[in-house]
Structure formats: structure tokens, C-alpha cells
A and B are shown apart, each in its own frame.
Chain A
């Protein structure tokens, strides 16, 4: 009974947590970008402009929820739901601290890959369902982009699996605690995954389907109100997810000094604190990337994925395997 209650608590905690982190990120991004770009950013509503996001959310809910008469109605509504459902669901397998995850799944990593791949449908379907030319181009670009990174995303993660011998995320963290954080032996794999992760979340420099200066928001040109908001939030949920995974797979998850605390809730809170701190660093990294890079063309992205990243991830796999066998 107690265990059930605990699990339900975790479920509530994850959903509410993610739904708060994502808007918080919007604020963080605006402020950080502003800092790097010699301007202020939102600083009027509430302390440090913190309530700006709240105001935006309220505005978003009260905006006209317009479904274009020329659009494919069912798909049009479904598309933004997909990205939120898949991105949120993927959080089910993330271990935030020992024992703190919704499910302790033996194929957790594969579950994440499956969910993230499903997410692409959202953008492509939105682009098609809008029945707008800009959106169609955006949707097409999303598919092209998917072809570019999806092919090496899974492979880039396999080095971690080779080293830990499991797809279970909690066990991967434990394996790192026993040996070394995988960011050292799997540095190449980590970089590959990071790049795939940015492409996955459609963030600049890989925001081709959106490309505001070219396609005017691309796949979500015709979206308004909270349906647009869901794409918007979905992007930030995606960033949070990739950052969590970076932490779990390459930076030892909750691993870190415990300051002499050795048991009970306090220990778990300290461990969660480490997890959150590491994740936060990656969130900032994502924002910094947005401030500094330039957008490639879709054919360049495909060529990059196939000609450079794919061979590299295969090579990474072979080298890791050989090294592990030789060491045994």
C-alpha cells in the first residue's frame, strides 16, 4: 500500500515537475539569451520577470482556439497532442534518484528511443494537416531532418549499453557509480548523442521545420492558442528530456558527493539535487547553442548525418567493443 502511494506520488511529481520546468525554461532562455545578447529580456512582470511566463500561459489559454476550415481537423488536433504525450511519457523511465522513477523498465533506453521517434510524427502531421504551403514545407523538412539524425541516434547510444551491459537506465547509472562516468570513455558517443538530441528537439541550429525567417514558423504556422502552446512547451519538454538523458547516460545520473548523509529521504534528496544540477547545466548548454549557431540546409543536414555521424557512431561501437573485450 505504502509502495503504491509512493509510486503515485512519483507520477504526480514527474508530471507536475516537468510541466513546471518547461515554462521555467522559457523564462530562463529569454533571460539567458538576453544576457548573452546585451539586452534585458523580460524583467517587468514579477520579480526578475518571472511571472512573464505565467502571463503568457494565461494569454495562451484565452486566445482564440482556431481550427482552420481547410485543415484536416482530426489530425490537426492530434498533432500537438502527440508531441506532448510522447515527450512526457518518455520521462517514465528516467531515474531521478535511486528507486525514484515511474517504472524501472529493463528496456528503458529502447522505450525512450521509441517515444522520441514517435514525436517526429507530430511535426510532420501538423505540417500536412494544416493544409498550408509553408506548413507543408516545414513538415517535409521535418521528415528530411529525421532521416538525417535518427539513423545514428540509436547507434550512438549503444556504446553506453556495451559498457554497462543493460538497457535499464537505473542500472546504467549504477554501472557508472562502480566504474567511471561514461562521458570519459564514451566521449565520442556523447557528442553524437548530443547532436542527435538537438536535432530531435528541433532547436536551433536544427530548427529547419520551423525556420521563422524562411517558413514563418513552418509546421505550426496555422496553430493558435494552446495548440500552439503545446508545440512550444513540447519543445522545452524535449530539451529537458534530452538533458536528463545526458545526465543519466554520461554523467552518472544522481552520482555525486553525499556530504556524509548515508540514508533515508535526505540522501535521496541530495542525490536528486545532483541529478537536477547536472541537468540544469545541459539546459543552459542548449540555450547557449541557440545563441551561437547558424542553421544548415536540410540537404546539408542529411549529408552530415549519413556521411559523418553514421560512420562515426559505427566506428565508436566497434572501438568500444574491441577495447572492452581486450580489457577482459
Chain B
């Protein structure tokens, strides 16, 4: 592997050392400040010409820096745009930051370098009002077009009570409806071809096949999809804004609701990022418990995908069987965590409680029960010839396209790339487990299905290893910032009692700094980029979700397919609307 600092030196020698300013971060991802004039040049070099190129635009976001107090080693900036790149060859990330002043919020778009930057740039425009010059469709992405202001700016209210009562008179309703009205010209679409007229069809938000309030506008020639525009934001709840006004501890339940099929899997990257900021090292027992619960939730999530995917192409029955088995997982989750879908069970520096008595039998029963069922479903769904006819060769993309569009998770592994954070950058003790990374080669709907079906078996393997090798020890780290702190010490002296009291009432004060942690979540890479300003709340919480990227490439996948194929493609992506909109 090429050394971490290498890229900094390399860029310095190519573009001149004065071009960059290096910022140290808690996560040790090389972070460079670059001027906006040089941005496109640097990004272009990193993507194609650099040795071990940074082929994936992992994330693109911004920070409102105007009220931030702890900014050592950083140039003056009112708004900072952050480009997060990923190199597979180096197994290394790189963060490029651009400083902007409040009076001149412009920077060049990189959509011609990465098409996948389009949605991210629209989101930044929507949330911060930063204009990207050269972006072909710089419209609001998550907020309605009628929205006033830019929500992630610090002056924008975060609570409904700060905004006056909400009312929806007829005129306003009409205006909102009109704003949703699709205009093909805006997207450079023609209304007719030489031989026929195109139909513009709204598939969603109120549609049973879109798995939630997703709107896809189809340009149809007969049943053939000429082009389409996915419209998101109907499920937007401002999770990132909420992160800025909940205590570090109090935000954990919100993370559960990002990928709402992933349960505690969502807590993990958030807790890991906070722990990185706080410098907490959790005991092995905590790591193993976390892995075990996450893998159970991976199976639960894949079960929902399995059933609904089958239903999307018209097989009626599997969904019932799979939901029944998902209930068995929830029985375990309920016994261990007390909750079902959203247990919010991980804590900063540990988990909420120790495992209950008899947990191992409960889980082993399930681990022994499921494999036979998986074989049955394999026969019922994946080997079904009609199912194959509906999914093979449909919605295919190549490995290059996948990387270019920021695909992670099973969607990437279906193209033959065995990239998996659990193996490549083991977190939470994954290096201690034996498991394989299933891959497929064709990258179509069917192969994405194959990968997920095989992943469930691997997850079962991991869970079994967890049960058999559960380390002893504490379920919480012995660290002052562990929240809630270990109770045993509180009754000894006033100091620890006060620390405990503050930690529980105000929440912990996390040292200033920045950290990103990404994990291999159920649908791809889920990551939290946290900026702490040394207070009880996060200064900026950026949630990098996989579904957002996967949904963005829908037009590329579905052009030339039929409406029926569209549903197969949607089903095969395995997205959750909350994971897209946050």
C-alpha cells in the first residue's frame, strides 16, 4: 500500500506546495484545503492521472463555518465545501476542502468529471445556497422548490416552533402542486419523437411499487423508458440539522431511522465516529456484541429486500415467508435490546445493557433454523425461471460505471469487485471473524440478488462465531466520555458523581475535531462525518448514505427498459427512502 502522506507530497510536487494547506483530523484522512480556481484541475488529476487514482467521489458536502470557534490549522472560511474521494488501489480516502466567503458563494461544478456529483451539488445548493457554476440542473433537491432559505445554514430555524404555525390554504396548496408539475424542457427532454408522442408519467410518490414516497418521472415511448428523472425529498426530515441540536448521546435514536431496516446497524458508524473524536477504545466484548447485532439486522434487512424484490416482479408468496422469519430476528432483538425495528441500543463507548440470560440459545436456535429456509427460497425465487427471465440482463452496469457513480455494497460486489469495508478496513473487530465476500460478475438485477442471498449465509456464519467466541468483560468502555458512564464509580466521590450527572443530563463534551467513519451497512457504505466544536452537541453532522448514490443512477440503469423492468430495477437496488432523503 502507498503511504498515507504520499498523496499530499505528490500533489504538492505537482501543483506546488503553496496550493494546499494540510489540516490534521482525528480520522487521519489526508485533508487538504485547495483554492476554488485549482479545484477542478486537482480533482481531474486525482481521478484519472494520479497513480492509484481516486476513482470514486465518495461524498460531497459543505459546512457552515461562521459560528465555529475551534478552527486551528484552517484557513479563513465562511462556508467550506468538502469533497471526499476514495481510491480503491490505495485503500485510502482524501478530503479536499474549498473555502468560500459569505459574499461570494460560488465554485465550479465537477459534474462533468463525475456525473455522480450532480445530486450532491444540488443538495449543497439546496441546503447552503452555494452555487455550482456549470451545473446543468442546479435545482433544489430535498426541499420543495417553493422553500425559502437554506436549512443547513446556522441562521435557519431548526424547529417548527421557531417558524410560526403551518397553514395550507387553497392558494398555497395550488402553488405547491404547481411547483411539483413536471416540465420536460427543464431537463432537456423532447415531447415527441419523429413517429410518436412521449408520455410523461409520474411513478410515485403515491405508488405501491416505489417502496415509499419516491417520485420517478418517466419519459415513455410506448412502454419503453426513454429517460427518467427521480425526484426525492418527500421523506426528508432534516436528520443532519437535528444532529446540530441534539446532544451527542441524544442523536443516537435518530440514526436508527436513517436506514430504517438496518436498526442498530445505523448506530454503529455514528458511535464509532464519536468514539474516534473522543478517543474511546471499546472492550472486545462490546465490539463482538455490536457485530452480532449488526449482522442480525443485515439479515433482517436482506429478508425484507428478498421478499419485496420477488413481489415487485410478481411473485406473491415469498414476502410473507420472509417477513415471518424477520419476526424471528425481531424476537431476538426484542429480548436483547427491548425494541424491534429501532432499538437505538448502541451507546457512545458501549451498548445500553449487557446481554440477557439465555441470549446464546435464542440466537443459536435462529442460526440453526435459517439455513434450511435460505435453501428453500433459493429454489422459490432465485432459481425460478420466470424470475430469471425478468431480472437477468436487466438494469446492468459495469464495474467502471458503478465506481464512477459511487456504488457501494452488494451493488458494487455484483460487478465483480470484492470491496467490503469489513475486510478492507476492518472496524469493530471484524478482523477476528472468518467470512467470505460473495461477488457476482454481470452487475444486473439478478446478480445483485445473488450477492445479497449469499451475504445472508455469511452473516449467519459471523453471528455463529460471535455466539461461540463471545469475550467476557464489560459492555461499556471505562472512559470518562462513555455515555451514560459506568455507574459503579459514582458513589465513591463527588468528582465522579458530578461527571456522571453532567454526562447524563447535558451529555458528554466531545473534544473539538473532525472524524469520518464509514461502515459496510445493509445497503452499502453508510458513514458519519462529524465536526465537533467542543460542545455537548455536534457542530455539523453529515450522513453519507448508500441509497442516495444508488438512486441517482436510476436513469442510467433504466434507459431503454420497460415500465415492468423499472420495477425490477427499483427492487434490485434495495433502497430505503429515509436512507436517501435523511
Question: Which of the residues B201, B321, B562 comes within 8 Å of A37, measured between beta carbons?
Answer: B321
- Residues of chain A in range 176-227 having any CB-CB distance to chain B below 8 Å: 204-205, 207-208, 211-216
Closest to A214 in B: B567
Residues of A within 8 A of B199 (CB): 133, 136
Chain A interface, number of residues (Cβ within 8 angstroms) = 32
| Interface window among B295-303, B345-353, B381-389, B478-486 | B381-389
Interface digits, B550-568 against A, CB 8 Å rule (1 contact, 0 not)? 0000000000001111110
Residues of A within 8 A of B562 (CB): 297-299
Given A213-B209, A216-B208, A300-B389: A295 and B201 within 8 A (CB)? no
Given A205-B314, A290-B316, A291-B316: A137 and B324 within 8 A (CB)? no
Check A66 for interface membership: any CB of B closer than 8 A: no
Whether A212 pairs with B316 at a CB distance below 8 angstroms is no
The CA of A39 and the CA of B390, in the complex, are separated in Å by 28
Residues of B within 8 A of A292 (CB): 315, 317
Given A38-B321, A133-B201: A213 and B312 within 8 A (CB)? yes
Residue from A141, A297, A299, A300 whose CB has the most chain B CB atoms within 10 Å: A297
Residues of B within 8 A of A38 (CB): 320-321, 324
Check A36 for interface membership: any CB of B closer than 8 A: yes
Check B313 for interface membership: any CB of A closer than 8 A: yes
Whether B389 pairs with A211 at a CB distance below 8 angstroms is no
Whether B313 pairs with A294 at a CB distance below 8 angstroms is yes
The CA of A184 and the CA of B384, in the complex, are separated in Å by 28
Closest to B308 in A: A213
The CA of A141 and the CA of B563, in the complex, are separated in Å by 11
Check A165 for interface membership: any CB of B closer than 8 A: no
Check B223 for interface membership: any CB of A closer than 8 A: yes
Check A6 for interface membership: any CB of B closer than 8 A: no
Whether B387 pairs with A298 at a CB distance below 8 angstroms is no
Whether B223 pairs with A298 at a CB distance below 8 angstroms is yes
Whether B317 pairs with A291 at a CB distance below 8 angstroms is yes
Residues of A within 8 A of B91 (CB): none
Question: Which of the residues B316, B317, B389, B564 comes within 8 Å of A214, measured between beta carbons?
Answer: B564
Given A211-B314, A297-B565: A39 and B320 within 8 A (CB)? yes
Check B535 for interface membership: any CB of A closer than 8 A: no
Residues of A within 8 A of B499 (CB): none
Check A241 for interface membership: any CB of B closer than 8 A: no
Check A293 for interface membership: any CB of B closer than 8 A: yes
Whether A211 pairs with B223 at a CB distance below 8 angstroms is no
Check B334 for interface membership: any CB of A closer than 8 A: no
Whether A298 pairs with B315 at a CB distance below 8 angstroms is no
Check B145 for interface membership: any CB of A closer than 8 A: no
Check A296 for interface membership: any CB of B closer than 8 A: yes
Residues of A within 8 A of B314 (CB): 204-205, 207, 211, 213, 293-295
Residue from A204, A207, A214, A299 whose CB has the most chain B CB atoms within 10 Å: A214
Residues of A within 8 A of B567 (CB): 213-214
Residues of B within 8 A of A136 (CB): 199
The CA of A37 and the CA of B322, in the complex, are separated in Å by 10
Whether B313 pairs with A137 at a CB distance below 8 angstroms is no
Residues of A within 8 A of B310 (CB): 294
The CA of A38 and the CA of B566, in the complex, are separated in Å by 29
Whether B223 pairs with A140 at a CB distance below 8 angstroms is yes
Whether B390 pairs with A216 at a CB distance below 8 angstroms is no
Closest to A207 in B: B314
Check B183 for interface membership: any CB of A closer than 8 A: no
Question: Which of the residues B209, B223, B312, B389 comes within 8 Å of A137, measured between beta carbons?
Answer: B223
Check B35 for interface membership: any CB of A closer than 8 A: no
Whether A37 pairs with B564 at a CB distance below 8 angstroms is no
Whether A294 pairs with B315 at a CB distance below 8 angstroms is yes
Interface digits, A277-309 against B, CB 8 Å rule (1 contact, 0 not)? 000000000000011111111111000000000
Closest to B200 in A: A133
Residues of B within 8 A of A208 (CB): 564
CB distance from B525 to the nearest CB of A (A): 29
Question: Which of the residues B223, B324, B384 comes within 8 Å of A294, measured between beta carbons?
Answer: B384
CB distance from B312 to the nearest CB of A (A): 5
Whether B316 pairs with A204 at a CB distance below 8 angstroms is yes
Check B311 for interface membership: any CB of A closer than 8 A: yes
Check B207 for interface membership: any CB of A closer than 8 A: yes
Question: Which of the residues A214, A296, A299, A300 comes within 8 Å of B209, measured between beta carbons?
Answer: A214
Interface digits, A125-141 against B, CB 8 Å rule (1 contact, 0 not)? 00000000110110011
Closest to A299 in B: B562
Residues of B within 8 A of A204 (CB): 314, 316
Residues of B within 8 A of A299 (CB): 562
Residues of B within 8 A of A214 (CB): 209, 563-564, 566-567
The CA of A214 and the CA of B561, in the complex, are separated in Å by 14
Residues of B within 8 A of A212 (CB): 208
Given A133-B201, A294-B384, A294-B390: A213 and B317 within 8 A (CB)? no
Whether A293 pairs with B315 at a CB distance below 8 angstroms is yes
Whether B320 pairs with A298 at a CB distance below 8 angstroms is no
Whether B320 pairs with A293 at a CB distance below 8 angstroms is no
Residue from A36, A37, A211, A294 whose CB has the most chain B CB atoms within 10 Å: A294
CB distance from B329 to the nearest CB of A (A): 16
CB distance from A36 to the nearest CB of B (A): 7
The CA of A133 and the CA of B312, in the complex, are separated in Å by 20
Residues of B within 8 A of A300 (CB): 389-390
CB distance from B237 to the nearest CB of A (A): 26
Residues of A within 8 A of B316 (CB): 33, 37, 204, 290-291
Interface digits, B112-127 against A, CB 8 Å rule (1 contact, 0 not)? 0000000000000000
CB distance from B157 to the nearest CB of A (A): 38
The CA of A37 and the CA of B564, in the complex, are separated in Å by 25
CB distance from B62 to the nearest CB of A (A): 38
CB distance from A140 to the nearest CB of B (A): 7
CB distance from B437 to the nearest CB of A (A): 29
CB distance from B121 to the nearest CB of A (A): 32
Whether B313 pairs with A295 at a CB distance below 8 angstroms is yes
Closest to A39 in B: B320
Whether A213 pairs with B201 at a CB distance below 8 angstroms is no
CB distance from B220 to the nearest CB of A (A): 8
The CA of A87 and the CA of B29, in the complex, are separated in Å by 71
Residues of A within 8 A of B564 (CB): 208, 211, 214, 295, 297-298
The CA of A136 and the CA of B223, in the complex, are separated in Å by 11
Closest to B202 in A: A133
The CA of A205 and the CA of B208, in the complex, are separated in Å by 18
The CA of A215 and the CA of B387, in the complex, are separated in Å by 19
Question: Which of the residues B208, B223, B321, B389 comes within 8 Å of A213, measured between beta carbons?
Answer: B208
Residues of B within 8 A of A141 (CB): 223
Residues of A within 8 A of B201 (CB): 133-134, 137
Whether B317 pairs with A137 at a CB distance below 8 angstroms is no
CB distance from B217 to the nearest CB of A (A): 12
Closest to A300 in B: B389
The CA of A57 and the CA of B207, in the complex, are separated in Å by 26
Residues of B within 8 A of A290 (CB): 316
The CA of A216 and the CA of B202, in the complex, are separated in Å by 12
CB distance from A302 to the nearest CB of B (A): 12
The CA of A141 and the CA of B564, in the complex, are separated in Å by 11
The CA of A293 and the CA of B386, in the complex, are separated in Å by 8
Whether A296 pairs with B223 at a CB distance below 8 angstroms is no
Interface, chain B (partner A; CB < 8 A): 199, 201, 207-209, 222-223, 310-317, 320-321, 324, 384, 386-387, 389-390, 562-567
Closest 9 interchain pairs by CB?
Answer: A295-B314, A37-B320, A213-B209, A294-B386, A294-B315, A294-B314, A297-B564, A294-B387, A291-B317
* Additional A-B contact list (14), CB under 8 Å, known A137-B563, A211-B564, A216-B209: A33-B316, A137-B223, A140-B222, A208-B564, A212-B208, A213-B311, A214-B566, A214-B567, A216-B207, A294-B384, A294-B387, A296-B386, A298-B564, A300-B389
6 A–B contact pairs at CB < 8 A? Answer: A38-B324, A137-B201, A213-B312, A291-B316, A295-B314, A300-B390
